[in-house]
């Protein structure tokens, strides 16, 4: 379901009763949703009337009980399952090992996997973030990013701040709500920061109550960061993390003299290394290396995926982020590249392997690979490189074939026909060669 106040009730109620909560994009198709419900072992699916048809199909395929906010045929009203707080079940929870949240992420490679976040992970990261930019009960924030996958809900409710929920990203509504409720802090992704910097409609609204804009999900260039700060009249503060980090490891502390283009400094009780992805050795100061993180916010592992967990976490608790960074002499981190595969579309992850698995089932596709191509508004767009299995491929037909099976943010925007998909001796797709090849006419 989209961001609504009941999201917090469902999430915290479920985990207080000893359960775990897995979050799903409301734009998922029934196929995508059913795959996640099956993998996570979900027993209950909560939705809203607008998405009841897809939810009903997925629930029927997986045996989940269907709950709905309001009323809908074949679903139990959410209000009917709300119990008496004074008669809450007595459950034993181990904060360190008990899984509270199970969001799905592609990690550095492959299909989406359930990220096991413990109660300790979530509480620790909220405390870490609050130490860097303390949130008071006088603050007001808009939950425009996915509520359960951001720090907004945990940090905001912990501090007693006011949260205004938005069901979807809409710039006009976002600006209206910011002005009406005198929003003090904005949590955005680069496409929203771009709109705040350039869209003429922004000048029609009074945003003077904003004290800071926090941007994450992808690095923000120093030019755009400065343009946004000057236009809105408040600092633009970058942060860094990923779902597997609950979700943050770096942030620019409020009030600190930030350096343009940096994603911040380490949160308290967090360690970082920069490692050569080829040799596995730490790089020299000032050199590029893959960012490795260790701290109380690092996930327990991937559900049902011991091999993926071992590839992401080493025996000493270091998490390989898949991002290439540089740390300056003052400890500020700059993200300059990445070695991981997932495509970032407006802050959402798109797993190339998932799209490739669908593409290869098209009768005209003999082989394929999916990469991300730069886009000024979305960050990246999914592009397919395909080898024809016949006399030719109708790109529009193949694009439509994939679009019918995935959520809108996963749709392939371009198809390029090539003679061969470059692979390593082990069969792994060499995506870097596809990124750097010269496109055919």
Cα(141)–Cα(210) distance, rounded to whole angstroms?
10
Is pLDDT of 178 > 50?
Answer: yes
For residue 107, the model assigns a pLDDT of: 75
Q: What is the pLDDT of residue 312?
A: 95
87-96, pLDDT tens digit by residue? Answer: 888 999 999 9
Please state, as a whole number, how many other Cβ atoms lie within 10 Å of the Cβ of residue 200: 6
pLDDT given for residue 425 in this prediction? 57
Choose between 207 and 339: higher pLDDT: 207
CATH 3.40.50.12780 boundaries in the chain: 117-337
With beta carbons less than 8 A apart as the criterion, state whether 289 and 324 touch.
Answer: yes
Higher-pLDDT residue of 255, 170:
170
pLDDT digits (tens, 9 = 90+) for 273-288: 999 988 999 999 999 9
Are 113 and 102 in contact by the 8 Å Cβ rule? The answer is no
Confidence of residue 437 (pLDDT cuts 50, 70, 90): low
Q: Does pLDDT of 37 surpass 70? A: yes
337: enclosing H helix or E strand? strand 333-338
Record: fold of 1-92? Rossmann fold (3.40.50)
Contacts of residue 343, Cβ cutoff 8 Å, sequence gap at least 6: 349, 350, 351, 352, 370, 371, 372, 380, 381, 382
> Can the peptide bond before residue 247 be classed as cis, meaning omega within 30 degrees of 0?
yes
Pairing of strands 65-68, 44-47: parallel
The torsion defined by the Cα of 41, 46, 49 and 50, in degrees rounded to 10, comes to -60
Q: Mean pLDDT over all residues of the chain? A: 91
Statement: residue 378 has pLDDT above 90? no
Give the pLDDT of residue 382: 95
Of 71-75, 297-301, 342-346, 351-355, which has the strongest mean pLDDT?
297-301
pLDDT of residue 438: 47
Which pLDDT belongs to residue 189?
A: 84
* Residue 234 clears pLDDT 70, i.e. is over it: yes
Per-residue pLDDT band for 397 (boundaries 50, 70, 90) equals: very high
Residues of the chain with CATH 3.30.300.30: 343-436
Q: Evaluate whether 262 touches 219 at the Cβ level (below 8 Å).
A: no
For the whole model, what pTM was predicted?
Answer: 0.85
Q: Please determine, for residue 315, whether its predicted confidence score (pLDDT) is greater than 50.
A: yes
pLDDT band at 191 (very low <50, low <70, confident <90, very high): confident
Give the pLDDT of residue 283: 96
The pLDDT-based confidence of 261 (bands split at 50, 70, 90) is confident
User: Tell me, what's the pLDDT at 182?
Assistant: 97
Distance from the first to the final alpha carbon of the chain: 43
**Residue 147: per-residue pLDDT:** 81
Residues of the chain with pLDDT > 70, as a percent, come to 97
Which three-class secondary structure state does DSSP give residue 238? strand
Mean pLDDT in residue range 389-416: 92
Residues of the chain with CATH 3.40.50.980: 1-92
Name the pLDDT band for 51 (thresholds 50, 70, 90): very high
Tell me the fold of 343-436.
GMP Synthetase; Chain A, domain 3 (3.30.300)
Taking CA atoms, 164 is separated from 5, 64, 144, 202, in Å, by 8, 30, 8, 19
> Which residues make beta-bridge pairs with 390?
none
Q: State the pLDDT at residue 149.
A: 63
Q: What is the mean pLDDT of residues 192-208?
A: 92
Cα–Cα distance between 437 and 343 in angstroms, integer? 18
What pLDDT is stored for residue 423 in this prediction?
Answer: 78
Range in 18-32, 286-300, 339-353 with the lowest mean pLDDT: 339-353
- Cα(5)–Cα(152) distance, rounded to whole angstroms? 13
What's the CA gap between 271 and 285, in Å, rounded? 15
- The pLDDT-based confidence of 427 (bands split at 50, 70, 90) is low
196 pLDDT above the threshold of 50: yes
CA distances from residue 421 to 348, 416, 417 in whole angstroms, order as listed: 26, 11, 10
Preceding amide of 320 cis, omega within 30? no
Residue 440, pLDDT score: 45
Cβ contacts of residue 345 below 8 Å, gap of 6+? 372, 378, 379, 380, 381, 382, 409, 410
pLDDT, mean of residues 236-252: 93
**What is the DSSP secondary structure assignment for residue 283, as one 8-state letter?**
P
**pLDDT at residue 240, as a whole number:** 93
CATH topology of domain 117-337: Rossmann fold (3.40.50)
């Amino acid at each position: 379901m989209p961001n609504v106040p009941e999201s917090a009730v469902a999430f915290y109620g479920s985990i207080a009763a000893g359960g775990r909560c897995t979050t799903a994009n409301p734009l998922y198709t029934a196929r995508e949703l059913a795959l996640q419900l099956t993998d996570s072992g979900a027993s209950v699916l909560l939705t809203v009337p607008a998405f009841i048809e897809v939810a009903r199909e997925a629930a029927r395929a997986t045996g989940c009980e269907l709950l709905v906010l309001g009323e809908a045929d074949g679903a139990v009203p959410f209000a009917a399952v709300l119990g008496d707080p004074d008669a809450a079940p007595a459950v034993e929870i181990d904060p360190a090992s008990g899984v509270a949240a199970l969001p799905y992420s592609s990690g550095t490679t492959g299909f989406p996997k359930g990220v096991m976040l413990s109660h300790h992970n979530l509480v620790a990261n909220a405390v870490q973030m609050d130490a860097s930019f303390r949130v008071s009960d006088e603050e007001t924030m808009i939950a425009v990013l996915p509520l359960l996958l951001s720090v907004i809900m945990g940090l905001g409710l912990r501090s007693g701040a006011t949260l205004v929920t938005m069901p979807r990203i809409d710039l006009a509504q976002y600006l209206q709500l910011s002005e009406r409720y005198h929003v003090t802090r904005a949590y955005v992704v680069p496409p929203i920061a771009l709109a705040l910097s350039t869209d003429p409609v922004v000048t029609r609204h009074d945003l003077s109550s904003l004290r800071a804009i926090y941007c994450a999900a992808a690095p923000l260039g120093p030019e755009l960061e400065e343009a946004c700060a000057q236009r809105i009249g408040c600092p633009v503060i970058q942060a860094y993390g990923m779902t597997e980090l609950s979700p943050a490891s770096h942030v620019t502390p409020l009030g600190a003299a930030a350096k343009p283009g940096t994603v911040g400094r380490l949160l308290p009780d967090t360690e970082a290394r920069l490692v050569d992805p080829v040799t596995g050795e730490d790089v020299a100061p000032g050199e590029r290396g893959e960012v490795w993180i260790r701290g109380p916010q690092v996930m327990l592992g991937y559900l049902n995926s011991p091999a993926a967990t071992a590839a992401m976490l080493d025996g000493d608790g270091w998490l390989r982020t898949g991002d290439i960074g540089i740390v300056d002499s003052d400890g500020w981190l700059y993200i300059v590249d990445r070695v991981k595969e997932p495509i970032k579309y407006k802050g959402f992850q798109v797993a190339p392997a998932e799209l490739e698995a669908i593409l290869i089932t098209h009768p005209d596709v003999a082989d394929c690979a999916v990469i991300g191509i730069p886009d000024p508004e979305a960050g990246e767009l999914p592009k397919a490189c395909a080898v024809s299995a016949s006399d030719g491929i109708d790109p529009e037909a193949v694009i439509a074939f994939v679009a019918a099976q995935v959520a809108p943010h996963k749709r392939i925007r371009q198809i390029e026909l090539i003679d061969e998909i470059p692979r390593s001796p082990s069969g792994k797709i060499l995506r870097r060669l596809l990124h750097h090849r010269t496109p055919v006419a």
